[in-house]
Chains A and B, each alone.
Chain A
C-alpha cells in the first residue's frame, strides 16, 4: 500500500519511528549471521543464564526468603526517585524547560483570567453583559 522509494528497501518504506518498531521480517539484522553477532548473542546468553541460575537457586532454596529481592527493580526505583537530584545539573536546557513547565502555566493562566475578567467588567460597565443562569 505504501509507495516504494526509488531504490529503497522495504524497511525504509515501512518507516519505523519511536511509536512503532520495525517488524523482524524487514529488519536486516535478523538475517545477519556474522560471527560477531553470534559472539555477542552468546555473551548475552551467558549473562542471562548466570542470572537465571542465581534466581533458581534462591527460588528452590528450602530456606528461601519470603520475598526474593530483584536488584534490577531496586536500582530502577532508586534511579527514578533518589538518584535524580544528585545527578541533576542546571544547564541552559534544563533551566529553560523548568521555567517552561513550572512558571509558564502560571503566567498563561494569569493572562487568561485577567483578560477574561477585564472583558466581562467592560461589558458590565457598558450594560451589555448577559448574566448567565445561576443555580445558587
Chain B
C-alpha cells in the first residue's frame, strides 16, 4: 500500500509495540514522537529530522526542566502573519501537513492573539494609553475628593406648604409659610 509506506503512517509496527501504559495503535512509533531534551549533536540532528526541520533551524527550548523536552522553539508569531494568499493544506489554520506547530499554536490562531505589525509602534500606543488612563484616573480621584455641584436647598411646596393636602383643617386658618424674603 502506498499509504503505509508514507513516512509516519507505520501503524503495523505501532500495534506490535502495544504494552501496558503505551499509546494508542494509531499513534506514531516512538522514534517519531517527542522525547527528552537532545544532548548530543546526533540527537539534535535526529530531532530536527523528526520534526521536518533543517538542523540549522532546529532550536529546542532551554533545558530548564519545564517539560518541553526536545520540542522545537519556533518564533512567537501568530497565524495572522502567515501569507493569506498561499495555498496552505489547511487554509483556515494556515498550516501545511507535517509542518512543526508552535507550542502555543492554539493561542496564535486567527481568532486569538495577533502579533502582526501594527501601524503605530507599540511603545507609542502604550504611552498614549497610559497618559489617557492616568489623566482620567487622576481627574476622577480629584472629583471624589473635591466634589462640585450646583447649590441646592430644600424643596418648597405651594399653598402654605400643602396645608390642606397634608390633612389640615379647612375651617382653620393655615399657618403662614414664607419661602423668601424680599
Can you list, as one digit per residue, whether each of B107-121 has a CB less than 8 Å from chain A (1) or not (0)?
A: 000000001111011
Q: Given the interface contacts A20-B118, A55-B96, A79-B34, does A43 sit within 8 Å of B54 by beta carbon? A: yes
Contact partners of B35 in chain A: CB under 8 A: 83
Question: Which of A51, A54, A87 sits near B69, CB closer than 8 Å?
Answer: A87
Q: Does B67 contact A (CB under 8 A)?
A: yes
* Listed residue (A74, A84, A94) with the most chain B CB atoms within 10 angstroms of its CB: A74
* Interfacial chain B residues near A52, Cβ < 8 Å: 89, 96-97
> Which range holds the interface residue count of chain A?
35 or more
Tell yes or no: B174 within 8 A of A by CB: no
Whether A64 is near chain B, meaning CB under 8 Å from some CB there, is: yes
Q: Per a CB cutoff under 8 Å, which of B33, B34, B97 touches A54?
A: B97
Main secondary structure of the interface of B (DSSP, over half): loop
Taken residue by residue from 38 to 54, chain A's Cβ proximity to chain B (1 for < 8 Å, 0 otherwise) reads as 00100110011001101
Q: Which of B23, B52, B77, B118 contacts A72 (CB 8 A)?
A: B52
A80 at the B interface (CB under 8 A):
yes
Render A59-82 as a binary contact track against B, CB cut-off 8 A, 1 for contact.
Answer: 001011100111111111011101
Q: How far is the CA of A65 from the CA of B64 in the complex (A)?
A: 40
User: A47-B53, A72-B52 known; A86 and B97 CB under 8 Å?
Assistant: no
* Residues in A neighbouring B121, C-beta threshold 8 A: 1-2, 13-15, 20
